[in-house]
Chain A
Amino acid sequence: GAVVSQHPSWVICKSGTSVKIECRSLDFQATTMFWYRQFPKQSLMLMATSNEGSKATYEQGVEKDKFLINHASLTLSTLTVTSAHPEDSSFYICSAGESGQGRYEQYFGPGTRLTVT
């Protein structure tokens, strides 16, 4: 199946700083990518949908000025957590959707563990 990578796999940053997470589709072009957040022992919560060349669509309750999403190419989307605080510590997962011929599949990255100290 298709492969989605994330970088970094884990990051520790100081409170007040910004951190960028990259999501790449390695062997296919992804017009749509998704960003999820997962707290320990909880489910994946959709944060935003990222479309190549246009602004991201954020879910209700997600601060778009805090979680900046850029989808500059068909293989790369980035999530920047600005002015990070300890409550932003979480596991962030990206995915890329692919559809065609009546089927739809979502490929997930391995996730990025963010710890804000």
Chain B
Amino acid sequence: AQTVTQSQPEMSVQEAETVTLSCTYDTSENNYYLFWYKQPPSRQMILVIRQEAYKQQNATENRFSVNFQKAAKSFSLKISDSQLGDTAMYFCAHTGGFKTIFGAGTRLFVKA
């Protein structure tokens, strides 16, 4: 069975600072994908970053990067130079066998 755990219900960060959101997962799949999604107040799901489990190199996307520790089943998201527009819910997700399971989410507040 797949599970995704986000242990930080809420976090806040000062504008321009760096913040790390945690995520751990459990899976029985050998091939899988990991994602971070952003959900702003509009509730539209926006892909932030993806990681293929077979790739050892951590994914980066501009100000967003991940720390993927496959053996530890950990997949944290680092947001650098935080901006006010980064305020949103962030969901960690695992896709294996074409089934996606989401974590409970972390609400991030970026303060001016």
Contacts and interface: CB of A to CB of B under 8 A. Distances in A.
Interface of A: 1, 32, 34, 38, 42-46, 49, 91, 93, 95, 97, 99, 102-106, 108, 110-111
Given A99-B98, A103-B33, 6 more contacts: A38-B43, A43-B104, A93-B43, A106-B47, A108-B44, A108-B45
Interface residues of B, number: 20
Contacts of B47: 1, 105-106
Nearest to A34: B100
A42 B95 CA distance: 19
A9 B33 CA distance: 29
B89 to A, nearest CB: 8
Given A42-B104, A110-B43, A102 B52 contact: yes
Interface string B92-105: 00010011111111
Contact of A93 (B33, B45, B52): B45
Contacts of B44: 108, 110-111
A97 B98 contact: yes
B50 A105 contact: yes
B10 to A, nearest CB: 11
Nearest to B91: A43
A1 B103 CA distance: 24
Interface in B24-61: 33, 35, 42-45, 47, 50, 52, 54
Q: Which of A38, A91, A93, A106 has the most CB of B within 10 A?
A: A106
Interface in B59-106: 91, 95, 98-105
Contacts of B50: 103, 105
A53 B105 CA distance: 34
Nearest to A113: B43
